[in-house]
Amino acid sequence: MSEAAERLAVLDLREEVPEAAQRLLAASGAAAFPAEAVASVRAILEAVRAGGDAALVELTARYDRVALTPETLRVDPAQVRAAASRAPAELRRALEAMIKQVRSFHRPQAPTSYRQAGPDGVELGFTWSPVRAAALYVPGGTAAYPTTVVMNAVPAQIAGVERIVVLTPPGTLQSNPAVAAALDLLGLEEIYQIGGAQAVAAAAYGTASVPRVDVIVGPGNLYVALAKREVYGLVGIDAVAGPSEVAILADGSAPARYIAADLIAQAEHDAHARCFLLTPSAALAAAVQAELTRLVAAAPRRAIIEAALREQSAILLTRDLAQAVMISNALAPEHLQVMVSAEAGLRPEALIGGAIFWGPDTPTALGDYWAGPNHVLPTGGAARFSGPLSVATFLRSSSYVRYTAAAIQAAAPQAALIADHEALHGHAAALRVRTERGDEAI
């Protein structure tokens, strides 16, 4: 077996789907979380719910080894500006341009409220309004990305959220001027130096120093993801994110060098990243393997890339493009890259993916940094029923109903009849009482 094959298995699906492929494809669904982690997160959430600021201070000392007080939980905006000033000027300019791109793409997403007029003065409507407050979680350490700050904050700002809170572990801004620069450029000043499950708890329950919010978004580690899942319903969340994913759907016309580079770009996220090439071309599969051997050997994050390609990823060799599409849609990947000839007749509407990147000159990395569509995407097959983070994530909707006395006279008998058949007699009575002639309440 070649060195490349050891890194990225080739699973031949042309005759039947082998057991190894079945296991790999089944893993695309949401995995069960470790019971110990679930118990730990629930204990942290309860500690913050009951103990407020004191619990936040104690948990920060325990997990981050930083001594805070209730007064120092919130970061002085001057500290953010000082950290941001250490970012290179060319990086600030690039981030400014990215923010402009992301704003331009997201602005048309804002939905429109509407009203309808009915007979006898009836008014019906559907209204969209921003949530009052949203929290953006910004991870610390190597996972602190300024681009994710932009992708989460811009849709909230376009939605018109009045209060945007940033939660990040102590030291993030000092150690990552790029993140501080993104916060500064976006004008975000309500920043709390708390991380982990305890930060999610503070935003969901509220404390004396951290007022509660309505929506919590942003990436994080296992404990952050679990905490968001636990508080969902009390607050809204973007998603419970799993490992990052890419599926590349390609035929023999695709450039092997591009595909290998794109697989590596996804694999370098972490050792759990999932990377797939689906192709009916055995020649392309072999060429991609050869390119991987060459490129991985020189990659700065080689150990992480090799682990992801070896453990979580594969080249899936299919009978034809139709089978490749069927398997890709079953995966419903976070990122889907399509590199097929125009003669294949494939259309985006036939594909399932959180974000679809069309053509050899449209890598996933372009979406991460520049194109404009959001890079906060559903993982673990959730693209089957959900989509990217958007302006709507930060909006609440309400229906509006107004009937007149004349209108209720016409509608009540039919509505009450339906209520009778559901055996909800109080509902029927509430309708019929409005059709009775008698003394009116004062």
Residue 421 appears among annotated catalytic residues: no
| pLDDT of the residue at 4 | 44
Task: Report yes or no: 249 and 340 within 8 Å, Cβ to Cβ.
Answer: yes
Instruction: Kindly provide the residue ranges of all beta strands, DSSP E only, lying in 95-235, ordered along the sequence.
Output: 114-117, 123-130, 133-137, 163-167, 190-192, 215-217
Residue 90 appears among annotated catalytic residues: no
Q: CA-CA-CA-CA torsion for 246, 247, 251, 255, nearest 10 degrees? A: 10
CATH of domain 242-384: 3.40.50.1980
Break the chain into its structural domains and give their ranges. Answer: 35-239, 242-384, 403-435
pLDDT in tens, the chain (442 residues): 345 445 688 888 888 777 766 777 766 554 567 889 999 999 999 999 999 999 999 999 999 999 999 999 999 999 999 999 999 999 999 999 999 999 999 999 989 999 999 999 999 999 999 999 999 999 887 667 899 899 999 999 999 999 999 999 998 888 899 999 999 999 999 999 999 999 999 999 999 999 999 999 998 888 999 999 999 999 999 988 888 899 999 999 999 999 999 999 999 888 888 999 999 999 999 999 999 999 998 888 889 988 889 888 999 999 999 999 999 999 999 999 999 988 778 888 899 999 999 999 999 999 989 989 999 988 888 889 999 999 999 999 999 999 999 999 999 999 999 999 999 999 999 999 999 865 554 4
The residue from 334, 343, 422, 440 that is catalytic is 334
> Whose structure tokens read 């789907």?
17
Task: Say whether 242-384 and 35-239 share the same fold.
Answer: yes
Count of alpha carbons within 13 angstroms of residue 271, beta-carbon side: 4
Dist CA 55 CA 36 (whole Å):
21
Dist CA 345 CA 121 (whole Å):
52
What CATH number does domain 35-239 carry, 3.40.50.300, 3.40.50.1980, 3.20.20.60, 3.30.70.120?
3.40.50.1980
Nearest to 425, CA basis, from 438, 410, 433, 440? 433
Q: What Å distances lie between residue 279 and 136, 258, 286, CA to CA?
A: 38, 14, 11
The residue from 106, 230, 269, 335 that is catalytic is 335
Dist CA 218 CA 202 (whole Å):
15
